């Protein structure tokens, strides 16, 4: 196994031997803290420097416990490694070495081989349910699965971004052992496993930190979720950095996707996290760190981060496929085709320009490798944040969608698929939670009011049709029916994805190391010609027309190898037919 070793860290329980555990809690606001053993004794914890409390207790793995704050409030361990139920239940001592790994020689895979498949663990039946899909995904050409957040959240149904115990795998999905088995099995299929982690906020239910550790937050900065997390504090930084290292070391995840880092004001925290991960990983193991960052800070991709989700790419392609222009799509209107060409030629569309609110956004990105950008047509946000969770197969003209799919899967950028996309699933992906009482009402009403600015939801009666996030029917409606993937209407999409990924792995992946952006040109409305210089000196040429009219086109040079055409056409001379993508490889270009 690679050289990453578990850091001791101060947050969370540490097994000293099979019968002794060291318990710690950072509680600078507490006058006293005690360890409560469920069904057993209550032990006072000793105050230590800088607001810490600790005790070594004669209990081993499997022990259920809570912390008693000031003799009046029992709370779970914020660094609990597992919960005996939900977020308010007792925490459980876990032995990090209790799983016998089968694929101990797994080192991961280099980034340029990556094809990501984002999935929601709960909708696929928990950790054991996801494991049943691994063989099919590997056969399709996927090389990495990415789990939406699995940190313990309130209730049994949630996207995962309401997590409050970041060290504990969600009990409704399975045990820590079952999660390790899933990752181990994935490695046996040659699949990397990435985890989406949320370090910018805690959910609204089950977070007790403000009661005994208010310095975790800063009141002078607000995020969409409330007070910002105070990454100026050493204890806070270590809480999250040790969490990242736990997932990578104890569970052997191959990488992390950091959610919404634009909501983290202390950039130095992001730099330190990446540096410590790289130092722990060593040179032999492939570990990948991917950002979601609305600020388009390209400079972070030069500081130990592997790649960033390219929302700009999606936000150009989606309106070209659907003609939608409300909300953030307004930033990509007008001159959508010019912005399409820029994204294909330079990565980001916004590289310092003002958005629709007059705010400057982004940094220059053309100097980065195309593989520094994760490209997608759909993901949990872009599908699930629609009022009715429709997928593109229900919104876009089929030939245009096939052309855009070819561009996504055969460009030098790293492609990401969203579960069910590969066979044209028509089940929606809706926003769902399992809150109760006043919080459930607030979430439901808040969800519906988010759409008040959209013309089609201007009246309250229409907004009432938006599914209630807390209803079990909303969750059930979001479950992809994988049994339908070989049926007519779905099998054709599956065959297309399989064909495109086969071409990618055969013709493009071996040439990606050293690839760089080269050029792009607007051919006509919704039509562009883009080229990338690959690592072996060849050029990859994309002819893409998502519009309804043919566009003038310079012919591919003699000897260019046609890799793929999204449909058969009889082109007029020097013209690119509508709703068509063609990709050529121009070898020996140097």
Q: Which residues are catalytic?
A: 259, 292
Q: How far apart are alpha carbons 489 and 199 in whole angstroms?
A: 40
Which DSSP helix (H) or strand (E) runs through 308? strand 307-309
Distance, in Å, from the CA atom of 25 to the CA atom of 54, rounded to the nearest integer, reads 7
The Cα 350–Cα 281 span in angstroms is 33
Contacts of 107 (CB under 8 A, 6+ apart): 2, 284, 285, 286
Tokens of 462: 């229409």
Enter the tokens of residue 213: 């550790």
Tokens of 280: 């722990």
Alpha-carbon distance of 122 to 577, in angstroms, equals 42
| Cα separation, 380 vs 373, whole angstroms | 17
Contact 215, 246 (CB under 8 A): no
φ and ψ at residue 103, rounded to 5 degrees: -105, 70
Instruction: Please report, for residues 134, 204, 382, 401, the alpha-carbon distance to residue 419 in angstroms, rounded to integers and kept in the order given.
Output: 12, 27, 13, 17
Let me know: does 532 contact 370? Beta carbons within 8 Å. Answer: yes
All residues at 6 or more sequence positions from 546 whose CB lies less than 8 Å from its CB, including other chains: 317, 320, 321, 400, 403, 404, 526, 527, 579
Write the CB contacts of 140 (distance below 8 Å, at least 6 apart in sequence): 422, 494, 497, 498, 501
Q: Do β-strands 52-57 and 64-69 pair in parallel, antiparallel, or remain unpaired?
A: unpaired
């Amino acid at each position: 196994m690679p050289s990453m070793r578990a850091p001791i860290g101060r947050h969370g329980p540490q097994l000293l031997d099979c019968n002794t555990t060291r318990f710690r809690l950072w509680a600078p606001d507490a006058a006293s803290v005690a360890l409560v053993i469920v069904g057993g004794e209550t032990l006072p914890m000793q105050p230590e420097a800088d607001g810490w409390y600790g005790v070594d207790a004669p209990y081993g793995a499997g022990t259920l416990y809570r912390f008693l704050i000031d003799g009046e409030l029992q709370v779970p361990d914020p660094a609990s490694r597992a919960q005996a139920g939900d977020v308010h239940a007792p925490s459980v001592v876990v032995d990090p070495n209790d799983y016998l790994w089968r694929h101990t020689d797994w080192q991961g895979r280099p980034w340029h081989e990556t094809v990501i498949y984002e999935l929601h663990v709960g909708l696929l039946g928990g950790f054991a349910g996801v494991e049943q899909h691994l063989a099919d995904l590997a056969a399709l050409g996927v090389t990495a699965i990415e789990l939406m957040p699995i940190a313990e959240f309130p209730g049994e149904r949630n996207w995962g971004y309401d997590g409050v115990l970041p060290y504990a795998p969600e009990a409704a999905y399975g045990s820590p052992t079952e999660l390790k088995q899933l990752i181990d099995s994935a490695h046996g299929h040659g699949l990397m496993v990435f985890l989406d982690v949320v370090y910018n906020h805690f959910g609204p239910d089950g977070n007790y930190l403000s009661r005994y550790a208010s310095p975790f937050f800063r009141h002078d900065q607000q995020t969409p979720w409330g007070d910002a997390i105070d990454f100026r504090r050493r204890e806070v930084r270590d809480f999250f950095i040790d969490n990242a290292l736990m997932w990578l070391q104890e569970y052997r995840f191959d990488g992390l996707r950091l959610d919404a880092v634009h909501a983290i004001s202390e950039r130095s925290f992001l730099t330190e996290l990446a540096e410590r991960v790289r130092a722990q990983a060593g040179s032999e193991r492939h570990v990948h760190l991917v950002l979601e960052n609305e600020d388009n800070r390209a400079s972070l991709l030069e500081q130990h981060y592997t790649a960033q989700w390219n929302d700009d790419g999606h936000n150009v392609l989606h309106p070209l496929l659907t003609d939608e222009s409300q909300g953030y799509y307004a930033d990509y209107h007008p001159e959508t085709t010019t912005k399409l060409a820029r994204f294909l030629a330079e990565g980001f569309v916004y590289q310092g320009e003002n958005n629709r609110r007059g705010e400057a956004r982004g940094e220059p990105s053309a100097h980065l490798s195309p593989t520094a950008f994760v490209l997608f047509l759909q993901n949990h946000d872009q599908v699930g944040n629609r009022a009715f969770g429709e997928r593109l197969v229900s919104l876009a003209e089929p030939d245009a969608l096939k052309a855009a799919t070819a561009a996504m899967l055969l460009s030098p950028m790293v492609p990401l698929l969203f579960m069910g996309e590969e066979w044209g699933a028509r089940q929606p992906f809706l926003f769902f939670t399992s809150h109760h009482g006043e919080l459930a009402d607030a979430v439901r009403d808040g969800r519906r009011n988010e759409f008040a600015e959209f013309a089609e939801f201007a009246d309250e009666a229409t907004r009432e049709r938006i599914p209630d996030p807390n209803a079990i029917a909303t969750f059930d409606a979001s479950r992809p029916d994988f049994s339908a993937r070989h049926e007519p209407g779905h099998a054709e999409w599956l065959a297309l994805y399989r064909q495109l990924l086969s071409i990618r792995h055969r013709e493009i992946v071996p040439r990606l190391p050293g690839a760089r952006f080269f050029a792009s040109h607007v051919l006509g409305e919704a039509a562009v010609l883009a080229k990338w210089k690959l690592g072996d000196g060849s050029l990859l040429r994309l002819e893409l027309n998502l519009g309804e009219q043919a566009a003038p086109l310079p012919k591919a040079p003699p000897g260019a190898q046609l890799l793929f055409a999204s449909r058969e056409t009889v082109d007029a001379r020097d013209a690119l037919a509508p709703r068509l993508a063609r990709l050529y490889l121009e070898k020996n270009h140097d």
